[in-house]
Amino acid sequence: MNSLKTAILLAALTGLLLAVGSFFGGTKGMTVMFVVSILMNFFSYWYSDKIVLSMYGAREVTHQEAPDLIRMVSALAQKAKIPMPKVYIIDTDVPNAFATGRDPEHGAVAVTTGIMRALNYEELEGVIAHELAHIKNRDTLISTVVATIAGVITMIANIAQWTAFLGFGRSNDEEGNGIAGIVEFIFLVVLAPLAATLIQLGISRSREYQADETGALVSGNPLALASALQKIEYYAQHRVMPEATPATSHLFIVNPFSGGDWLVSLFSTHPTTAQRVARLQELAKRIR
């Protein structure tokens, strides 16, 4: 069900990109923006993992440096039937973790020093299994493609806004007049990027649910993952992760900018922790 939802939302996002390109420059504009999105996806596919690991000062560790962590990742990777990913540690007290890499053969898992201190063995195992699930399900690639397309739509909207402000763009004859022209401008500048953002967030939340389920099945302990999510959420609400940026918040197992009101939840990259815990509790009952 989550995979189908992702496919539908991704198709909607691609359709929105083509519609915005058409609004901006007809068939030629649609073609140009489609090419731009392909080039951006190509760059993101090859280099996004290196960029994000560098942003957080993540250092790769060996078996000699972190034997327990490496053994845990190795055992879970075998259960998940994926190649052993590279393992990184981020020196920060705030508990969190993320996975990156363009495919399972180039996967990487990064954990903070804070998460290794805050969680017990079973909880950390659940978190690692969740991150390996992202690699197994190729979520890092999906999120890169989605973020790039949404970024292109926002870029087009910004260009349209500035061209209108500076008096460039289509002539009145091309644009039509009156209400039709106003509606077109509002769609292009306001509604399209908002819709792109909401679709992007919907895909991200869907993939988090999928990773929770896959990871819980790999570790065999849904309740340990549920407990880990609650602990990480508590720290996210009470302590800011100084290195975190909104652009990369979707990567983490719990959004480092977690908040409690409905508006924050609407624009969150993750489902609420309460929703995730409830699903994991239901899964635990089913697999007993």
Going by the annotation, the residues of the binding site are 130, 134, 208
Is 131 part of the annotated catalytic residue set? yes
Which parts are annotated binding residues for Zn(2+)? 130, 134, 208
Q: What is the C-alpha separation between 175 and 69, in angstroms, rounded?
A: 60
For residue 269, the SS3 value is coil
Chain position carrying tokens 């999906």: 142
- Residues 6 or more apart whose CB falls under 8 angstroms from that of 62 comprise 70
Q: Give the torsion through C-alpha atoms of 242, 246, 247, 253, to 10 deg.
A: 80
Copy the structure tokens of residue 117.
């201190």
Q: Strand order of the sheet with strand 108-112?
A: 59-60, 86-90, 108-112, 97-100
Eight-state DSSP code of residue 252: B
CB 279 within 8 A of CB 212: yes
Look at residues 124, 112, 89 and name the one whose alpha carbon lies nearest to residue 239.
Answer: 112
Catalytic residue among 60, 65, 105, 131: 131
Residues 6 or more apart in contact with residue 168 via CB below 8 angstroms = none
Dihedral through CA 25, CA 30, CA 31, CA 33, nearest 10?
100
Please list the active-site residues: 131
